[in-house]
């Protein structure tokens, strides 16, 4: 295989500014024991949980582009959003600590959990250690709370750069256009199937956009873990693809790009563990020594396992699971076990 340090992004991506934050390329590992257990194609895991920034995760790729844009605009303060146990918020706090930006995290209590471990441990503990300013609001009060925080920062003459939830805009999504290029470069096979957790739309939009821009023919299945209506996720991905096409222009048309969403593993609600997700976490841990989380990667892994068991990936010799991180929240969900 090529030297692990010689990957270079495609010219159109390499020309865009980034702030170095992560460890690249992240490993691509074969999961021999899990593959043997399931009896389907060879499973590989793209270890974006090893990307750096306070236990890593997929947002680090997005933040390299977003923090660079903030610095170019002369920002001294980052404001971003998420749920109480947001992995994105934790990585944003870490990125700000690394480059010396003031970080304000506005978090919503959107998950029906009130135990103290959920409210204060896991990512919430890390946010405090990373010196972020953390505000939590009920959904009904979120917009008023946001206005108050923004007004206070403006009165302090802060130069604010807002990062959307999940880092999911046209700039942040570039991180996963780069990821798919990195994956194809490092794989000792031709990738044909990717499975990953899909929530705020940026990861899947970036993968789909990069897949088209670089002329790959990879099926990308996003396991919906956030939206009660999967069409909402599909519409957000489509909208983001349209913005990327207009802004970066390397894809002639986005109208026919396939957006594959699987909603079967969502469960009762966002942030609520499922039995299949907990079983998938146990399988990955006991067979491969890899930790998943019950909100994102665990549900996506449940989808991967079930799709293989159903024979839906039998046409593929290899399947790649993108581990988007999240193990930092495991301690906040200890009661799920």
Q: Which residues are catalytic?
A: 86
Beta-carbon-side half-sphere exposure of residue 137 (alpha carbons within 13 Å): 17
CA-nearest of 101, 93, 97, 94 to 73 is 101
Q: What DSSP character marks residue 56?
A: -
Q: How far apart are CA 97 and CA 90, in angstroms?
A: 11
Assess contact for 104 and 135: CB atoms under 8 A. yes
Distance of CA 124 to the CA centre of its chain: 18
**CA-CA distances (angstroms) from residue 91 to 42, 202, 325?**
31, 15, 11
As given in the structure block, the two tokens for residue 108 are: 């919503």
Residues 14-24 as b/e (b if ≥16 CB within 10 A, e otherwise) read eebebbebbeb
**CA-CA distances (angstroms) from residue 196 to 61, 224, 239, 269?**
15, 9, 20, 18
Burial of 88 (0-12, 13-18, 19+ CB in 10 A): buried
Distance of CA 52 to the CA centre of its chain: 13
Distance of CA 258 to the CA centre of its chain: 20
CA-nearest of 89, 241, 222 to 163 is 89
DSSP string, 227-261: -SSHHHHHHHHHHHHHHHHHHH--SS--TT---EE
As given in the structure block, the two tokens for residue 135 are: 């505000």
As given in the structure block, the two tokens for residue 243 are: 């913005």
């Amino acid at each position: 295989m090529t030297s692990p340090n010689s990957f270079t992004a495609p010219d159109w991506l390499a020309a865009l500014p980034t702030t170095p934050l992560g460890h690249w390329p992240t490993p691509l590992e074969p999961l021999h024991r899990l593959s043997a257990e399931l009896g389907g194609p060879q499973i590989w895991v793209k270890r974006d949980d090893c990307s750096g920034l306070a236990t890593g995760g997929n947002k680090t790729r997005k933040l390299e582009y977003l923090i660079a844009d903030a610095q170019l605009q002369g920002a001294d303060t980052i404001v971003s959003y998420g749920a109480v146990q947001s992995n994105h918020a934790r990585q944003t706090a870490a990125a700000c600590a690394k480059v010396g930006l003031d970080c304000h995290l506005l978090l919503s209590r959107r998950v029906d959990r009130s135990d103290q471990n959920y409210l204060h441990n896991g990512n919430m503990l890390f946010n405090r250690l990373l010196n972020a300013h953390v505000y939590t609001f009920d959904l009904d009060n979120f917009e008023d709370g946001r206005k108050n925080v923004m007004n206070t920062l403006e009165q302090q003459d802060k130069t604010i750069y807002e990062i959307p939830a999940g880092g999911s805009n046209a700039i942040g999504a570039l991180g996963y256009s780069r990821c798919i290029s990195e994956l194809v470069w490092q794989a000792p096979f031709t990738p044909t199937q990717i499975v990953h957790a899909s929530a705020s739309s940026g990861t899947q939009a970036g993968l789909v956009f990069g897949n088209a821009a670089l002329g790959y023919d990879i099926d990308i299945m996003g396991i919906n873990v956030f939206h009660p209506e999967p069409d909402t996720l599909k519409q957000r991905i489509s909208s983001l693809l349209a913005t990327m096409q207009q802004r970066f222009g390397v894809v002639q048309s986005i109208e026919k790009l396939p957006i594959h969403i699987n909603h079967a593993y969502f469960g009762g609600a966002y942030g609520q563990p499922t039995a299949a997700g907990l079983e998938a976490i146990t399988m990955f841990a006991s067979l491969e020594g890899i930790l998943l989380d019950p909100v994102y990667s665990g549900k996506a892994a449940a989808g991967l396992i079930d799709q293989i068991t159903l024979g839906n990936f039998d046409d593929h010799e290899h399947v790649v699971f993108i581990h988007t991180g999240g193990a930092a929240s495991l301690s906040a969900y200890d009661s799920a076990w």
